Amino acid sequence: MAVIQFPGVNCEYETARALEAAGARADVVRFNLSADEIRRYDGYVLPGGFAYEDRVRAGAVAAKDAVVDILAEEAARGKALLGICNGAQVLVEAGIVPGREPGLVEMALAHNRHPYHKGFLNRWVFCRHEATGEVLPLPIAHAEGRFACADEKAAAALDRDELIYLRYVDEAGGAAGEEYNPNDSALDAAAISSCSVAAVATMPHPERASWLYQIPRYLPGPWGLKRRRAASKELTARGPGRLIFEDFLKLV
């Protein structure tokens, strides 16, 4: 697996470690390697950070980089893509997610919007893995994380086509409401899949919740309880974020 290192990203090495913990071999790969060097990998992860300093909009400049065209071509050939936070913004800005018309930007990751806070937000959230119903505590760290569509019809199509991969919920898996949707994301979406290729854009950071020791002891719900009860030797056990990487490797 290749973890693509754009100028300004800062999560590439922990993402590579999380991939390896899930069973993959992962290399941190510079964005400006030759096309042949990029193409030799079986799948690609775009990690979090601030590619090109988030100029214009988060992910907008990186989405125009030549390497993203290569990734889109490889995805069309059946390879898998995972974008995490800034990487999710790149996939949306490149028109890969949701991908009804590849290359066409169909939605946006807009500025966080919430009555109690604004701007950059760093906190733990609860997300429902829509394929299994499992509730995963995961951390977010973004200022532009609100999945937004041009109109209600476009948003409804995400639900209709089952493209919402993770959805913000409360700790019991119920509707997020104002308290648990941290950025007013449409349909409480925390991660979106592509309908045309094997790609997922997730705003929460699974690499920061891939081991049990990363889970805060104060969190409510079964994962917080598991963390509080864990003995020292159990702290390196699988965390909730590992599922996202396991899903990704199934697509490869």
- In the annotation, is 205 catalytic? yes
The answer to whether 5 and 31 have CB atoms below 8 angstroms apart is yes
Q: How far apart are CA 30 and CA 66, in angstroms?
A: 12
- In the annotation, is 207 catalytic? yes
**How is 39-53 classified by DSSP, letter by letter?**
HTSSEEEE-SB-GGG
Largest CA distance in the chain: 50
Output the CA torsion 201→205→206→207 (10° steps): 120
**CA nearest 99: which of 107, 110, 111, 88?**
107
Catalytic residue among 11, 85, 127, 149: 85
Give the residue numbers annotated as catalytic, written as ranges.
85, 205, 207
